[in-house]
A = this chain, B = another copy of it.
C-alpha cells in the first residue's frame, strides 16, 4: 500500500515536504485553510520537481507529480494518512488550534509532526490527549536539497515517536539530528540568528556595506562550512588541531563574544540597506527564478558531496 503524508498548511515549507515525500514514492495530500492555496502548492511543487529533473537530479518529475493531491478539507487530508505534518504560521496559537483538531481526528497510532522552526512542541501540545505522538520535525529550505532536519521531542514525546521520525527522515533521504532538550530556536535557527543578528548589527553600525558582509560568507566563511562544520574548521586552523586552537584563541572568542551585537534589534537603517542591496542584485519579479538558480547551485553541491 502506498504511504501517504497529510500536509496541513501548503506554503513554501509544505511544498518542500511534498518534493521530499513524492520523490520517495509517498502520496502527498495538500490542505490549506486559504482557498486556492493547496491547488497552487501542487503547481509550485511540480515546478520544483521539473527543475530537479532538468538538472538530472530526479528520474521523472511526472511520476512524482502523480502523487500530489490537493484536498478541500482537513478531514480529507488526514484520511488514510500514514504521517501528518503541520506547516502553518509560526505562532503557538495557530499551532495549538491545528494540533487540537489533529489529535481529535487522526488515529492514535499516527505521528503528528510540526514544521515549527523555533517554538518547541511543549508550547502547544501539553494539554493534548495524544501529546506523546507529537514532535517537532523542522526542515531546512528547501528540504529536498538542504537535507538537515531537526527532531525535537517535547518532554512527554514517546521514545517510539522520536525513533519513528529519525528513521522516517533517513528513509526519505534527509539527515536528521536529535535535540536532547527543548530550546527556543532549536540548533539551526540559534546558530543562524547568532550570525545574522551580528551581520545586521555590523551593517547598521556602518562597519561594512551589506555587499561586503554578504561576501564575507559567500567568499569566506561559508565555503568551508558547506562540507565541514565549525568544529573541523577550527581543527584545521592550528597545526596540532582544536585543543591548540582553543588554547590559543579561546580567550579571543570569549572577549569578542561579550562585544557582539547579537541581542540588538535590527535597525531600520540596516533593513533598508540590506533590502537595497538585494533589490539591486535581483529585482522582486525575478525572485522565483533566483530560487531555481539557488536550487541548481545546491544540486551541484549535493553531487560534489557524494564523493
Contacts and interface: CB of A to CB of B under 8 A. Distances in A.
A196 interface: yes
Interface string A1-24: 000000000011000000000000
A100 interface: no
How many copies of this chain does one complex carry?
Answer: 2
B227 A218 contact: yes
Which of A231, A248, A265 has the most B CB atoms < 10 Å from its CB? A231
A231 B213 contact: yes
Contact of A216 (B181, B188, B277): B188
Interface string A173-201: 00101111101110111111111111100
A277 B90 CA distance: 34
Given A185-B259, A271-B246, A304-B304, A196 B230 contact: yes
Given A184-B259, A266-B246, A278-B231, A237 B12 contact: yes
Contacts of A255: 184
Contact of A230 (B207, B214, B249): B214
28 contacts: A11-B239, A90-B248, A90-B252, A118-B256, A141-B237, A148-B220, A148-B221, A179-B208, A180-B207, A180-B208, A183-B207, A184-B255, A188-B220, A191-B217, A191-B221, A195-B230, A196-B253, A210-B231, A214-B229, A222-B226, A225-B225, A240-B284, A241-B275, A241-B278, A241-B284, A254-B266, A258-B263, A297-B304
